[in-house]
């Protein structure tokens, strides 16, 4: 477990998404120390109003880190150990659908925002490496040479960074996998595994979409509507995180469908589900994709949940979407997981 320095704590305090207000903060007002029916007292060691996850009666109110008052269930949700059916037999790369087990984990309720990611760049600058990991991997794509509909929202000005006004609470996009991985580690967490992401979206009910079975609409998520052979985006841009409370998952996670697609930890192989372990799968050892247009193939990682320009099927709970491992895109961001502690 890494020990966060003062800069991390300051950044964590400054980075709670303000777009979160509409979706409530269940659990945040809980008082610790209540005696429950079993006679076991809930413990709230860090005094943030949320009981520690091993003692919490209600998983939705559980504190994933009872030693850190900046980690609370209004922004990080606890998922108890359990089993769920992953995948779908409808698609080759999601077959076979089968039951797997996961240890307890925690997952952010919101996509990581531009403002939060700038705090990470500032912390890297203090370490002398503003836009790269210690291994030299780029974090954010400032110089985007691909034509697209959305400009970069984080602007580099010498040794400082600013977010385009009005985009502070939008999900960070144009972020490399290494940037997502590095940010989550800096926050004391990690990227979710693909299986953790899917279990959270399924909500313990085998949901087709994070909110349930209803077809996507522009009131449920930020995606692109299917039409006659083409798609029409609801907004053609990101929206502030947490803008679609009607599309929340069973456990209250926002924007799992649409807005920014989300990097997960795993490498991508289309046949992985046939060979993956039944407990806590972490993905294959390496990722690779072959395509007609690119028969030599390329190294690939995974995103989940679709984004503001993808059609409805990509925003389902089970569809897997691969990207070149060093890719960046105006529609790809991430959220972080945490092993409860």
The size of the interface with Ca ion (CB under 5 A), counted in residues, is 12
Beta bridge partners of 156: 161
DSSP secondary structure letter of residue 120: H
Q: For the CB of residue 307, give the shortest distance to Ca ion in the complex, in Å.
A: 7
Structure tokens given for 143: 């110089």
Residue 181 binds Ca ion, judged by CB under 5 A: no
Q: For the CB of residue 237, give the shortest distance to Ca ion in the complex, in Å.
A: 14
Residue 200 binds Ca ion, judged by CB under 5 A: no
Binding-residue pattern over the window 250 to 269 for Ca ion, x denoting contact by CB under 5 A: -----x---xx---------
Residue 108 binds Ca ion, judged by CB under 5 A: no
- Give the residue among 306, 299, 267, 298 at the shortest CA–CA distance from 283: 267
Q: For the CB of residue 298, give the shortest distance to Ca ion in the complex, in Å.
A: 24
Q: For the CB of residue 310, give the shortest distance to Ca ion in the complex, in Å.
A: 10
Give how far the C-alpha of residue 2 lies from the chain's centroid of Cα atoms, to the nearest Å. Answer: 21
Nearer to Ca ion, 66 or 181 (CB): 66
> Are 310 and 223 a contacting pair, CB within 8 Å?
yes
Residues in 51-80 at the binding interface with Ca ion, rule: CB under 5 A: 63, 65-66, 71
208-211 contacts at long range (C-beta below 8 A, 24 or more positions apart): 208/316, 208/317, 208/318, 209/247, 209/257, 209/315, 209/316, 209/317, 210/247, 210/248, 210/249, 210/250, 210/253, 210/256, 210/257, 210/317, 211/246, 211/247, 211/248, 211/249, 211/257
> Are 285 and 198 a contacting pair, CB within 8 Å?
no
Binding-residue pattern over the window 280 to 319 for Ca ion, x denoting contact by CB under 5 A: -------------------------x--------------
Nearer to Ca ion, 66 or 152 (CB): 66
Q: For the CB of residue 89, give the shortest distance to Ca ion in the complex, in Å.
A: 25
Q: Which stretch binds Ca ion (CB under 5 A): 89-97, 126-134, 249-257, 274-282?
A: 249-257
Residue 30 binds Ca ion, judged by CB under 5 A: no
> Are 63 and 46 a contacting pair, CB within 8 Å?
yes
Residue 191 binds Ca ion, judged by CB under 5 A: no
- Give the residue among 187, 1, 31 at the shortest CA–CA distance from 110: 187
Gap between the Cα atoms of 311 and 172, Å rounded: 21
Q: For the CB of residue 171, give the shortest distance to Ca ion in the complex, in Å.
A: 7
Residues that bind Ca ion (CB under 5 A): 44, 46, 48, 50, 63, 65-66, 71, 255, 259-260, 305
């Amino acid at each position: 477990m890494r020990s966060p320095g003062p800069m991390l704590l300051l950044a964590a305090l400054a980075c709670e998404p303000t777009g979160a207000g509409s979706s409530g903060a269940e659990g945040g007002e809980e008082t610790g120390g209540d005696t429950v029916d079993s006679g076991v007292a809930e413990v709230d060691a860090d005094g943030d109003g949320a009981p520690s996850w091993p003692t919490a009666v209600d998983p939705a109110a559980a504190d994933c880190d009872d030693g850190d008052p900046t980690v609370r269930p209004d922004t990080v949700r606890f998922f108890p150990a359990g089993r769920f059916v992953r995948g779908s037999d409808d698609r080759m790369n999601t077959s076979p659908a089968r039951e797997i087990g996961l240890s307890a984990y925690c997952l952010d309720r919101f996509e990581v925002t531009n403002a939060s990611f700038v705090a990470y760049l500032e912390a890297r600058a203090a370490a002398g490496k503003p836009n790269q990991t210690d291994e030299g991997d780029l974090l954010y794509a400032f110089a985007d040479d691909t034509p697209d509909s959305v400009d970069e929202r984080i602007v580099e000005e010498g040794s400082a960074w600013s977010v385009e006004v009005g985009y502070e609470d939008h999900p960070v996009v144009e972020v490399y996998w290494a940037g997502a991985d590095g940010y989550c580690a800096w926050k004391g967490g990690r990227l979710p595994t693909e299986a953790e992401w899917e279990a959270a979206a399924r909500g313990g009910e085998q949901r087709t979409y994070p909110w349930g079975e209803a077809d996507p609409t522009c009131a449920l998520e930020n995606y692109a509507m299917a039409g006659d052979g083409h798609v029409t985006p609801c907004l053609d841009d990101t929206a502030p995180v947490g803008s679609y409370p009607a599309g929340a998952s069973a456990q209250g996670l926002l924007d799992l469908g649409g807005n920014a697609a989300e990097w997960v930890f795993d490498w991508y192989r289309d046949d992985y589900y046939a060979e993956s372990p039944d407990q806590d799968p972490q993905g294959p050892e390496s990722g690779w994709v072959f395509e007609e247009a690119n028969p030599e193939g390329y190294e690939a990682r995974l995103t989940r949940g679709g984004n503001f320009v993808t059609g409805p099927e990509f925003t389902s709970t089970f569809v897997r979407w691969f990207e070149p491992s060093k890719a960046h895109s105006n529609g790809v961001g991430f959220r972080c997981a945490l092993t409860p502690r």
